[in-house]
Structure 1
Amino acid sequence: MDNTFVLFQPQIFSLLADGGLSHTGEQLPGKDWFSVAIAEASMQFAATYGCEVEFSKRRLDEAHYLWLRDVERIDFGDRGNKPDAFKRAGILAYWLRRRLVIADVIPMESVAYDTPYGQARRDRFVMNGAEIIPFLIGYNLSKYFSIALAEPVETRFRGALDEDFVWDVGRLLRINNVSPHALYLLYRALCM
């Protein structure tokens, strides 16, 4: 697998904002690098649920613009700091969900499930995948940076999220207006 567009790398927020090299060595602007990276991560998450996803390029571009705008607008007063990874991830998840960058969630017919739970898991994802994926992107970015910053690493790793919790968050994001600040606090609480 090509790791060019992998989200879990130290400079990810710079790459998402400003762009970087493609797998062919071509320099991509920020919105294009962002679109490819978010699409690839989304497809990887969807595959774990036995699904595929389709995107709206226009909405991905809008999410990129709005994410950058909000990250730049955070006022730290005279400290001059950039927002931390949890805040950036919260704002990113917010705009990916708010702009509905995932246009459709499609169950893969080639994936067979041995248990009813597997089928139910896929069915739940089909209903709320457009909300679950942004949450998982933000959560996994937050977890990556909390582990990268931890000393020792074991002190901040809590394992996988409970499936029912992910489902509940997906439903919450689907039917309620959850702010980027609430997502930031959720990611910080889950990953610290």
Structure 2
Amino acid sequence: MNQFSLYQDGIFRRLAEGSGGLDREEFFLEVIDQAAKAVASKCGFEIELHPTRIQEAQDLWIEDIQSLTLDKKIGGETVRACEYKQSSFLTYWLRRRLVVYSVSPKNPGDRDFDTLFKEYPSEYVALSIGLKLAAFHRFASAPNFHGDALAEISDKGDDMLFSLMHDALVLLHHKNVSPHALYLVFKALYTRMPPPSFLTTVR
């Protein structure tokens, strides 16, 4: 597996502490840079990220997650923030710090998602990374999960309905959407709800 893939066990710990002989800043930058450029390439663009803003996003994310952890001690035991919260707070700070500072066309198409990326590159990158992380942790524990499923997991992070993706990016760009609101979005997207009783098969 790629050392800097989003899709690996303990990814949130690695992003906060470092991995593979790299300190936390180096590892975080490499992972986010690789993921962001993959998102941009899929939409037909090349991007450059701002290293200082990436580090600021990491510091602010870690600070928030540590605060959540300290606030949730039960009987003296630490209750760590769930993957949806980790993903949402990371999305929030990547977007707030506007980590994308250079965007250039590589092979842009006229697809709706390509246009969205051109208009909202920082928001698109942040939301896509958060969705991919949430999807990975939602589905990776499934009994039939295997390596080939990673490509499909990656697509799950990109394949929101266009209208939903559009509205989410516009809100992220123009409004101060809280990480708690993002948490509810991620959890709602990946929480399976039973169908209404009238849709069940009558025997």
Say whether the fold is shared (TM-score over 0.5): yes
Q: How many residues align?
A: 177
User: Displacement, 1:76?
Assistant: 0.8
Match of 1:24 in 2: none
User: Displacement, 1:125?
Assistant: 1.2
- Alpha-carbon distance in structure 1 between the residues aligned to 2:7 and 2:140: 10
- Alpha-carbon distance in structure 2 between the residues aligned to 1:177 and 1:5: 30
CA contact (8 A) 2:15 2:27 kept: yes
Gaps of 5+ in 2: 146-152, 192-203
Match of 1:178, SS state, is: coil
User: TM-score normalised to the size of structure 1?
Assistant: 0.85
CA contact (8 A) 2:40 2:46 kept: yes
- Alpha-carbon distance in structure 2 between the residues aligned to 1:58 and 1:140: 23
1:44 aligns with 2:42: no
User: How do 1:19-58 residues align onto structure 2 when only pairs under 5 Å count?
Assistant: 19-21=18-20, 27-58=21-52
User: Which of the residues 119, 135, 146 maps onto 2:138?
Assistant: 146
1:127 aligns with 2:123: no
Match of 2:103 in 1: 105
User: Displacement, 1:10?
Assistant: 1.4
Match of 2:126, SS state, is: helix
Match of 1:7, SS state, is: coil
- Alpha-carbon distance in structure 1 between the residues aligned to 2:45 and 2:29: 19
User: How do 1:61-80 residues align onto structure 2 when only pairs under 5 Å count?
Assistant: 61-74=55-68, 75-78=71-74, 79-80=77-78
User: TM-score normalised to the size of structure 2?
Assistant: 0.81
- Alpha-carbon distance in structure 1 between the residues aligned to 2:87 and 2:113: 25
Moved segments of 4+, more than 6 Å: none
CA contact (8 A) 2:61 2:89 kept: yes
- Alpha-carbon distance in structure 2 between the residues aligned to 1:69 and 1:54: 25
- The alignment yields a C-alpha RMSD, in angstroms, of 2.0
Match of 2:19, SS state, is: strand
Which structure has the bigger radius of gyration? 2
CA contact (8 A) 1:106 1:126 kept: no
Deviations 1:124-156 (A, max 9, x none): 211101101101111110011011234677xxx
- Alpha-carbon distance in structure 2 between the residues aligned to 1:130 and 1:173: 10
